[in-house]
Amino acid sequence: MTRPVYLVDGARTPFLKARGTPGPFTPVDLAVQCGRPLLARQPFDRRALDLAILGCVNVIADEMNPARVAALRLGLGEAMVAFTVQINCGSGMQSIDTAFRYIREGRHDMILAGGTEALSHAPLVLRQSAAAWFGQMAQAKGPMEQARAMTGLRPEFFKPVVGLERGLTDPITDLNMGQTAEVLAHRFGITRKTADAYAMESHHRLARAQREGWLKDEVMPAFTRDGAAHEHDDGVRPDSDMAGLAKPGPAFERPYGKVTAGNSSQITDGASWVIVASEDAVEKHGLTPLARIVDSEWAALDPSVMGLGPVLCSTPLALRNDLGAGDINLWELNEAFAAQVLSCLAAWNDAEFCREVLGLEGAFGAPDREDINTDGGAISLGHPVGTSGNRIVLHLANAMKRRGDRRGIATECIGGGLGGAMLLEAV
Protein backbone atom coordinates (compact mmCIF):
# COMPACT_ATOMS: atom_id res chain seq x y z
CA MET A 1 0.00 0.00 0.00
CA THR A 2 1.28 3.44 -0.91
CA ARG A 3 -0.43 6.64 0.21
CA PRO A 4 0.14 10.32 -0.64
CA VAL A 5 2.49 12.02 1.84
CA TYR A 6 2.56 15.74 2.54
CA LEU A 7 4.94 18.23 4.11
CA VAL A 8 2.43 20.42 5.94
CA ASP A 9 4.58 22.91 7.88
CA GLY A 10 8.05 23.50 9.28
CA ALA A 11 10.26 25.94 11.12
CA ARG A 12 13.92 26.39 11.95
CA THR A 13 16.12 28.46 14.20
CA PRO A 14 18.43 31.13 12.89
CA PHE A 15 21.76 29.55 11.98
CA LEU A 16 24.36 30.94 14.39
CA LYS A 17 27.99 31.05 13.39
CA ALA A 18 30.44 29.28 15.71
CA ARG A 19 32.89 31.79 17.09
CA GLY A 20 35.48 29.77 19.01
CA THR A 21 33.50 29.06 22.18
CA PRO A 22 30.41 26.93 22.86
CA GLY A 23 27.32 28.75 21.62
CA PRO A 24 24.28 29.59 23.77
CA PHE A 25 22.32 26.48 22.73
CA THR A 26 22.89 22.73 22.89
CA PRO A 27 21.46 20.52 20.11
CA VAL A 28 18.26 19.86 22.10
CA ASP A 29 17.96 23.52 23.08
CA LEU A 30 17.95 24.39 19.38
CA ALA A 31 15.38 21.74 18.54
CA VAL A 32 13.10 23.03 21.29
CA GLN A 33 13.54 26.67 20.28
CA CYS A 34 12.01 26.13 16.84
CA GLY A 35 9.81 23.18 17.79
CA ARG A 36 7.70 25.11 20.30
CA PRO A 37 6.46 27.86 17.95
CA LEU A 38 5.95 25.34 15.16
CA LEU A 39 3.72 23.17 17.32
CA ALA A 40 1.98 26.17 18.90
CA ARG A 41 0.63 27.30 15.54
CA GLN A 42 -0.87 23.92 14.65
CA PRO A 43 -4.64 23.24 14.92
CA PHE A 44 -4.06 19.82 16.51
CA ASP A 45 -2.92 18.72 19.95
CA ARG A 46 0.78 17.94 19.84
CA ARG A 47 0.09 14.47 21.24
CA ALA A 48 -1.70 13.69 17.97
CA LEU A 49 1.76 13.14 16.48
CA ASP A 50 2.67 9.47 16.10
CA LEU A 51 6.46 9.71 16.20
CA ALA A 52 9.40 12.10 16.50
CA ILE A 53 12.58 11.57 14.47
CA LEU A 54 15.60 13.87 14.77
CA GLY A 55 18.87 13.90 12.85
CA CYS A 56 21.97 14.77 14.87
CA VAL A 57 25.65 14.00 14.26
CA ASN A 58 27.59 15.50 17.18
CA VAL A 59 25.45 14.24 20.07
CA ILE A 60 26.71 15.68 23.35
CA ALA A 61 27.12 13.55 26.47
CA ASP A 62 24.28 15.24 28.37
CA GLU A 63 21.72 14.59 25.61
CA MET A 64 21.90 10.96 24.57
CA ASN A 65 19.14 10.25 22.01
CA PRO A 66 18.37 13.96 21.57
CA ALA A 67 15.14 13.11 19.74
CA ARG A 68 13.65 11.67 22.92
CA VAL A 69 14.95 14.50 25.11
CA ALA A 70 13.54 17.09 22.69
CA ALA A 71 10.20 15.26 22.42
CA LEU A 72 9.76 15.31 26.19
CA ARG A 73 10.75 18.97 26.48
CA LEU A 74 8.30 19.80 23.68
CA GLY A 75 5.48 18.20 25.64
CA LEU A 76 4.81 15.34 23.25
CA GLY A 77 4.15 13.05 26.20
CA GLU A 78 5.87 10.13 27.85
CA ALA A 79 4.25 7.68 25.41
CA MET A 80 5.85 9.38 22.37
CA VAL A 81 8.42 7.16 20.66
CA ALA A 82 11.37 9.27 19.48
CA PHE A 83 14.66 8.22 17.92
CA THR A 84 17.75 9.88 16.52
CA VAL A 85 19.20 9.17 13.05
CA GLN A 86 22.75 9.79 11.82
CA ILE A 87 24.00 9.73 8.24
CA ASN A 88 26.41 12.68 8.46
CA CYS A 89 25.22 15.64 6.36
CA GLY A 90 22.11 13.71 5.33
CA SER A 91 20.76 13.20 8.85
CA GLY A 92 18.10 15.91 8.69
CA MET A 93 16.86 14.61 5.35
CA GLN A 94 16.98 11.03 6.59
CA SER A 95 14.49 11.95 9.32
CA ILE A 96 12.04 13.20 6.66
CA ASP A 97 12.68 10.20 4.43
CA THR A 98 11.99 7.78 7.30
CA ALA A 99 8.77 9.64 8.11
CA PHE A 100 7.80 9.64 4.42
CA ARG A 101 8.21 5.88 4.14
CA TYR A 102 6.36 5.12 7.39
CA ILE A 103 3.39 7.23 6.30
CA ARG A 104 3.41 6.05 2.69
CA GLU A 105 3.22 2.46 3.88
CA GLY A 106 0.34 3.17 6.27
CA ARG A 107 2.19 2.64 9.55
CA HIS A 108 1.73 6.21 10.83
CA ASP A 109 -0.26 9.31 9.93
CA MET A 110 1.66 12.29 11.31
CA ILE A 111 5.33 12.56 12.24
CA LEU A 112 7.58 15.34 13.51
CA ALA A 113 10.88 15.04 11.62
CA GLY A 114 13.87 17.29 12.19
CA GLY A 115 17.57 17.86 12.41
CA THR A 116 19.74 19.65 14.94
CA GLU A 117 23.40 20.40 15.42
CA ALA A 118 25.52 22.58 17.69
CA LEU A 119 28.93 22.41 16.05
CA SER A 120 30.24 24.98 18.53
CA HIS A 121 29.76 22.28 21.19
CA ALA A 122 31.83 19.68 19.31
CA PRO A 123 34.11 18.05 21.88
CA LEU A 124 37.83 18.29 22.43
CA VAL A 125 39.10 14.73 22.78
CA LEU A 126 42.17 13.15 24.33
CA ARG A 127 44.80 11.52 22.17
CA GLN A 128 44.86 7.73 22.36
CA SER A 129 48.22 7.83 24.12
CA ALA A 130 46.84 10.25 26.73
CA ALA A 131 43.73 8.12 27.29
CA ALA A 132 45.97 5.07 27.84
CA TRP A 133 48.07 6.98 30.38
CA PHE A 134 45.02 8.16 32.33
CA GLY A 135 43.82 4.56 32.35
CA GLN A 136 47.11 3.39 33.83
CA MET A 137 46.90 6.07 36.50
CA ALA A 138 43.35 5.04 37.39
CA GLN A 139 44.41 1.40 37.80
CA ALA A 140 47.61 2.09 39.73
CA LYS A 141 47.49 0.69 43.26
CA GLY A 142 49.40 2.53 45.93
CA PRO A 143 51.98 5.32 45.78
CA MET A 144 54.73 3.23 44.13
CA GLU A 145 52.62 2.19 41.13
CA GLN A 146 51.30 5.72 40.78
CA ALA A 147 54.84 7.09 40.80
CA ARG A 148 55.92 4.63 38.10
CA ALA A 149 52.88 5.57 35.99
CA MET A 150 53.71 9.27 36.40
CA THR A 151 56.99 8.74 34.54
CA GLY A 152 54.96 8.15 31.37
CA LEU A 153 53.39 11.60 31.47
CA ARG A 154 54.08 13.63 28.32
CA PRO A 155 53.31 17.35 27.64
CA GLU A 156 51.36 16.50 24.47
CA PHE A 157 48.81 14.64 26.61
CA PHE A 158 47.40 18.03 27.59
CA LYS A 159 46.92 19.17 23.99
CA PRO A 160 43.47 17.83 23.00
CA VAL A 161 42.42 16.85 19.52
CA VAL A 162 39.64 18.94 17.96
CA GLY A 163 36.83 16.43 17.52
CA LEU A 164 35.21 18.41 14.69
CA GLU A 165 38.42 18.34 12.66
CA ARG A 166 38.63 14.57 12.92
CA GLY A 167 34.90 14.22 12.26
CA LEU A 168 35.28 16.12 8.99
CA THR A 169 38.12 13.88 7.84
CA ASP A 170 37.20 10.74 5.94
CA PRO A 171 38.69 7.70 7.71
CA ILE A 172 39.06 5.70 4.48
CA THR A 173 40.81 8.25 2.26
CA ASP A 174 42.20 10.41 5.11
CA LEU A 175 41.06 13.47 3.13
CA ASN A 176 39.17 16.21 4.91
CA MET A 177 36.03 17.49 3.26
CA GLY A 178 37.79 20.58 1.88
CA GLN A 179 40.37 18.41 0.18
CA THR A 180 37.64 16.40 -1.54
CA ALA A 181 36.32 19.68 -2.93
CA GLU A 182 39.82 20.43 -4.23
CA VAL A 183 39.82 17.08 -6.03
CA LEU A 184 36.59 18.09 -7.81
CA ALA A 185 37.85 21.59 -8.60
CA HIS A 186 40.85 20.02 -10.34
CA ARG A 187 38.71 17.44 -12.19
CA PHE A 188 36.22 19.98 -13.56
CA GLY A 189 38.50 23.02 -13.93
CA ILE A 190 36.80 25.19 -11.33
CA THR A 191 38.80 28.38 -10.82
CA ARG A 192 39.25 30.34 -7.62
CA LYS A 193 37.54 33.35 -9.21
CA THR A 194 34.50 31.30 -10.23
CA ALA A 195 34.22 29.78 -6.77
CA ASP A 196 34.48 33.20 -5.12
CA ALA A 197 31.83 34.63 -7.45
CA TYR A 198 29.47 31.82 -6.48
CA ALA A 199 30.10 32.50 -2.77
CA MET A 200 29.45 36.21 -3.22
CA GLU A 201 26.15 35.44 -4.94
CA SER A 202 25.12 33.15 -2.08
CA HIS A 203 25.53 35.97 0.43
CA HIS A 204 23.68 38.45 -1.78
CA ARG A 205 20.78 36.04 -2.27
CA LEU A 206 20.38 35.35 1.45
CA ALA A 207 20.60 39.07 2.23
CA ARG A 208 17.83 39.71 -0.32
CA ALA A 209 15.65 36.96 1.16
CA GLN A 210 16.07 38.46 4.64
CA ARG A 211 15.37 41.96 3.36
CA GLU A 212 12.23 40.88 1.47
CA GLY A 213 10.88 38.94 4.44
CA TRP A 214 10.84 35.63 2.54
CA LEU A 215 12.12 33.73 5.60
CA LYS A 216 9.61 35.24 8.05
CA ASP A 217 7.47 32.13 8.59
CA GLU A 218 10.42 29.76 8.31
CA VAL A 219 12.94 31.22 10.79
CA MET A 220 11.79 31.41 14.42
CA PRO A 221 13.65 33.65 16.91
CA ALA A 222 15.77 31.81 19.47
CA PHE A 223 16.03 33.19 23.00
CA THR A 224 18.87 32.54 25.43
CA ARG A 225 18.37 32.04 29.17
CA ASP A 226 19.37 35.65 29.84
CA GLY A 227 16.79 36.95 27.36
CA ALA A 228 19.01 37.70 24.36
CA ALA A 229 17.19 37.19 21.06
CA HIS A 230 18.72 35.68 17.91
CA GLU A 231 16.41 36.54 15.02
CA HIS A 232 18.44 36.09 11.82
CA ASP A 233 21.11 33.87 10.31
CA ASP A 234 24.14 35.77 11.51
CA GLY A 235 26.84 34.58 9.10
CA VAL A 236 25.51 36.47 6.08
CA ARG A 237 27.68 39.23 4.64
CA PRO A 238 25.43 41.51 2.53
CA ASP A 239 28.44 43.56 1.40
CA SER A 240 30.40 40.53 0.24
CA ASP A 241 32.49 41.36 -2.84
CA MET A 242 35.18 39.80 -4.97
CA ALA A 243 37.95 41.90 -3.46
CA GLY A 244 37.18 40.67 0.03
CA LEU A 245 36.78 37.07 -1.08
CA ALA A 246 40.15 37.20 -2.83
CA LYS A 247 42.00 37.90 0.43
CA PRO A 248 41.88 34.54 2.28
CA GLY A 249 44.50 32.01 1.25
CA PRO A 250 43.65 28.42 0.32
CA ALA A 251 42.41 26.61 3.43
CA PHE A 252 43.40 23.05 2.55
CA GLU A 253 45.85 22.92 -0.38
CA ARG A 254 48.42 25.71 -0.18
CA PRO A 255 49.46 27.61 -2.18
CA TYR A 256 47.39 26.83 -5.25
CA GLY A 257 44.13 25.49 -3.87
CA LYS A 258 40.75 26.92 -4.86
CA VAL A 259 38.87 26.26 -1.60
CA THR A 260 39.02 29.02 1.03
CA ALA A 261 37.17 29.93 4.20
CA GLY A 262 35.25 32.48 2.12
CA ASN A 263 33.89 30.06 -0.46
CA SER A 264 33.15 27.20 1.95
CA SER A 265 30.13 26.55 4.17
CA GLN A 266 30.26 28.09 7.61
CA ILE A 267 30.51 26.14 10.87
CA THR A 268 27.24 26.87 12.63
CA ASP A 269 24.60 25.84 15.16
CA GLY A 270 20.97 25.40 14.17
CA ALA A 271 17.89 23.18 14.12
CA SER A 272 14.92 22.55 11.83
CA TRP A 273 11.65 20.58 12.06
CA VAL A 274 8.97 19.66 9.55
CA ILE A 275 5.59 17.99 10.03
CA VAL A 276 4.97 15.13 7.62
CA ALA A 277 1.38 13.86 7.29
CA SER A 278 -0.87 11.46 5.42
CA GLU A 279 -3.89 12.55 3.41
CA ASP A 280 -6.11 11.26 6.22
CA ALA A 281 -4.32 13.45 8.78
CA VAL A 282 -4.50 16.48 6.48
CA GLU A 283 -8.27 16.08 6.16
CA LYS A 284 -8.87 15.21 9.81
CA HIS A 285 -7.04 18.26 11.18
CA GLY A 286 -7.83 20.71 8.38
CA LEU A 287 -4.18 21.19 7.41
CA THR A 288 -2.90 23.07 4.36
CA PRO A 289 0.18 21.30 2.97
CA LEU A 290 3.17 23.16 1.62
CA ALA A 291 4.02 20.38 -0.84
CA ARG A 292 3.67 16.68 -1.55
CA ILE A 293 6.70 14.46 -1.02
CA VAL A 294 6.84 12.40 -4.21
CA ASP A 295 9.99 10.30 -3.93
CA SER A 296 13.52 10.11 -2.53
CA GLU A 297 16.83 8.54 -3.45
CA TRP A 298 20.19 7.80 -1.83
CA ALA A 299 23.44 7.05 -3.63
CA ALA A 300 27.01 6.07 -2.76
CA LEU A 301 30.33 6.83 -4.44
CA ASP A 302 34.07 7.11 -3.84
CA PRO A 303 34.54 9.17 -0.63
CA SER A 304 37.32 11.19 -2.28
CA VAL A 305 34.72 12.71 -4.65
CA MET A 306 31.82 12.74 -2.19
CA GLY A 307 30.80 16.20 -3.45
CA LEU A 308 29.28 14.63 -6.57
CA GLY A 309 26.71 12.81 -4.43
CA PRO A 310 23.86 15.12 -5.59
CA VAL A 311 24.47 14.14 -9.21
CA LEU A 312 24.37 10.41 -8.47
CA CYS A 313 21.14 10.52 -6.45
CA SER A 314 19.15 13.33 -8.10
CA THR A 315 19.56 12.08 -11.66
CA PRO A 316 18.04 8.60 -11.11
CA LEU A 317 15.38 10.20 -8.90
CA ALA A 318 14.31 12.47 -11.73
CA LEU A 319 14.49 9.77 -14.41
CA ARG A 320 12.51 7.28 -12.30
CA ASN A 321 9.71 9.84 -12.24
CA ASP A 322 9.95 10.49 -16.02
CA LEU A 323 11.45 13.93 -15.49
CA GLY A 324 14.24 15.64 -17.39
CA ALA A 325 16.37 18.53 -16.21
CA GLY A 326 13.90 21.02 -17.68
CA ASP A 327 11.01 19.55 -15.68
CA ILE A 328 12.51 20.54 -12.31
CA ASN A 329 11.62 24.16 -11.58
CA LEU A 330 13.66 24.70 -8.42
CA TRP A 331 16.65 23.10 -6.74
CA GLU A 332 18.14 23.28 -3.27
CA LEU A 333 21.67 21.85 -3.49
CA ASN A 334 23.46 22.15 -0.17
CA GLU A 335 26.49 24.39 -0.55
CA ALA A 336 29.20 22.45 1.23
CA PHE A 337 31.75 24.27 -0.94
CA ALA A 338 31.35 26.56 -3.92
CA ALA A 339 33.73 24.37 -5.93
CA GLN A 340 31.64 21.32 -5.05
CA VAL A 341 28.35 22.86 -6.23
CA LEU A 342 29.98 24.12 -9.42
CA SER A 343 31.46 20.67 -10.05
CA CYS A 344 28.01 19.11 -9.79
CA LEU A 345 26.70 21.56 -12.38
CA ALA A 346 29.69 20.82 -14.61
CA ALA A 347 29.17 17.07 -14.25
CA TRP A 348 25.51 17.35 -15.32
CA ASN A 349 26.63 19.24 -18.44
CA ASP A 350 29.47 16.81 -19.21
CA ALA A 351 28.27 14.27 -21.79
CA GLU A 352 31.23 11.95 -21.20
CA PHE A 353 30.68 11.95 -17.43
CA CYS A 354 26.96 11.31 -17.82
CA ARG A 355 27.63 8.40 -20.19
CA GLU A 356 30.38 6.76 -18.14
CA VAL A 357 29.05 7.38 -14.61
CA LEU A 358 25.28 7.75 -15.01
CA GLY A 359 24.78 5.45 -17.98
CA LEU A 360 22.99 8.12 -20.02
CA GLU A 361 23.27 8.70 -23.75
CA GLY A 362 24.42 12.27 -23.26
CA ALA A 363 24.48 15.15 -20.77
CA PHE A 364 21.56 15.29 -18.33
CA GLY A 365 21.78 19.07 -18.19
CA ALA A 366 22.44 21.35 -15.22
CA PRO A 367 19.84 23.58 -13.56
CA ASP A 368 19.83 27.23 -14.53
CA ARG A 369 21.67 29.26 -11.89
CA GLU A 370 18.51 31.28 -11.22
CA ASP A 371 16.71 28.09 -10.23
CA ILE A 372 19.25 26.72 -7.75
CA ASN A 373 19.62 27.98 -4.17
CA THR A 374 17.58 31.02 -5.06
CA ASP A 375 17.75 32.40 -1.50
CA GLY A 376 21.36 31.53 -0.69
CA GLY A 377 22.77 28.40 0.86
CA ALA A 378 25.25 26.99 3.34
CA ILE A 379 28.06 29.35 2.25
CA SER A 380 26.03 32.29 3.56
CA LEU A 381 23.74 30.43 6.00
CA GLY A 382 26.10 27.86 7.46
CA HIS A 383 26.02 24.07 7.55
CA PRO A 384 25.01 22.58 10.91
CA VAL A 385 25.66 19.06 9.68
CA GLY A 386 22.70 17.17 11.13
CA THR A 387 20.29 19.98 10.25
CA SER A 388 21.06 21.04 6.68
CA GLY A 389 19.19 18.21 4.94
CA ASN A 390 16.04 19.16 6.81
CA ARG A 391 16.44 22.86 6.10
CA ILE A 392 16.86 22.44 2.36
CA VAL A 393 13.67 20.35 2.10
CA LEU A 394 11.71 22.87 4.18
CA HIS A 395 13.02 25.85 2.28
CA LEU A 396 12.45 24.18 -1.07
CA ALA A 397 8.78 23.72 -0.16
CA ASN A 398 8.45 27.34 0.98
CA ALA A 399 10.28 28.77 -2.04
CA MET A 400 8.25 26.64 -4.48
CA LYS A 401 5.04 27.97 -2.96
CA ARG A 402 6.26 31.57 -3.09
CA ARG A 403 7.39 31.30 -6.70
CA GLY A 404 4.50 29.16 -7.91
CA ASP A 405 6.78 26.30 -8.98
CA ARG A 406 5.43 22.85 -9.72
CA ARG A 407 8.40 20.59 -8.89
CA GLY A 408 11.60 20.84 -6.92
CA ILE A 409 14.49 18.68 -5.77
CA ALA A 410 16.44 19.10 -2.53
CA THR A 411 19.80 17.34 -2.61
CA GLU A 412 23.14 17.22 -0.84
CA CYS A 413 26.51 15.58 -0.75
CA ILE A 414 27.26 13.54 2.35
CA GLY A 415 30.62 12.90 4.00
CA GLY A 416 31.78 9.33 3.52
CA GLY A 417 30.80 9.24 -0.14
CA LEU A 418 26.99 9.46 -0.16
CA GLY A 419 24.27 11.64 -1.60
CA GLY A 420 20.60 12.19 -0.78
CA ALA A 421 17.77 13.75 -2.77
CA MET A 422 14.04 14.36 -2.30
CA LEU A 423 11.47 15.27 -4.96
CA LEU A 424 8.63 17.63 -4.00
CA GLU A 425 5.54 18.61 -5.97
CA ALA A 426 3.16 21.51 -5.50
CA VAL A 427 -0.32 20.84 -4.13
**Active site annotation includes 204:** no
**Active site annotation includes 413:** yes
Query: DSSP state, 235?
Result: T
Q: Which residues have CB under 8 Å from 360's CB, separation 6+?
A: 315, 354
What is residue 346's predicted lDDT score, i.e. its pLDDT? Answer: 98
**pTM for this predicted structure:** 0.94
pLDDT (tens place) for every residue of the chain, 427 residues total = 689 999 999 999 999 999 888 999 999 999 999 999 999 999 999 999 999 999 999 999 999 999 999 999 999 999 999 999 999 999 999 999 999 999 999 999 999 999 999 999 887 777 788 788 888 888 888 888 888 888 888 888 777 776 677 777 888 999 999 999 999 999 999 999 999 999 999 999 999 999 999 999 999 999 999 989 999 999 999 999 999 999 999 999 999 999 999 999 999 999 999 999 999 999 999 999 999 999 999 999 999 999 999 999 999 999 999 999 999 999 999 999 999 999 999 999 999 999 999 999 999 999 999 999 999 999 999 999 999 999 999 999 999 999 999 999 999 999 999 999 999 999 9
Nearest Cα neighbor of 263 from 197, 356, 189 is 197
What is residue 306's predicted lDDT score, i.e. its pLDDT? Answer: 97
**Are the CB atoms for 96 and 425 separated by under 8 Å?**
no
Distances (CA, A) of 188 to 344, 346, 365: 9, 7, 15
Q: If DSSP codes are grouped into helix, strand and coil, which group holds residue 113? A: strand
- The angle at the Cα of 118, spanning 112 to 380, to the nearest 5 degrees, equals 95
Residue 102 has φ and ψ, to the nearest 5°, of: -60, -45
Nearest Cα neighbor of 110 from 36, 5, 218 is 5
The total of other beta-carbon atoms located within 10 Å of residue 111's CB is 25
What is residue 131's predicted lDDT score, i.e. its pLDDT? Answer: 80
Catalytic residue among 108, 121, 204, 383: 383
Catalytic residue among 56, 89, 344, 354: 89
Length reported for the chain: 427
Q: If DSSP codes are grouped into helix, strand and coil, which group holds residue 283? A: helix
Distances (CA, A) of 350 to 115, 201, 345, 407: 34, 24, 9, 24
**Active site annotation includes 313:** no
Query: DSSP state, 122?
Result: P
Distances (CA, A) of 82 to 64, 67, 71: 12, 5, 7
Distance in angstroms (rounded) separating the CA atoms of residues 218 and 234: 15
What is residue 153's predicted lDDT score, i.e. its pLDDT? Answer: 81
Catalytic residue among 34, 313, 344, 413: 413
What is residue 2's predicted lDDT score, i.e. its pLDDT? Answer: 87
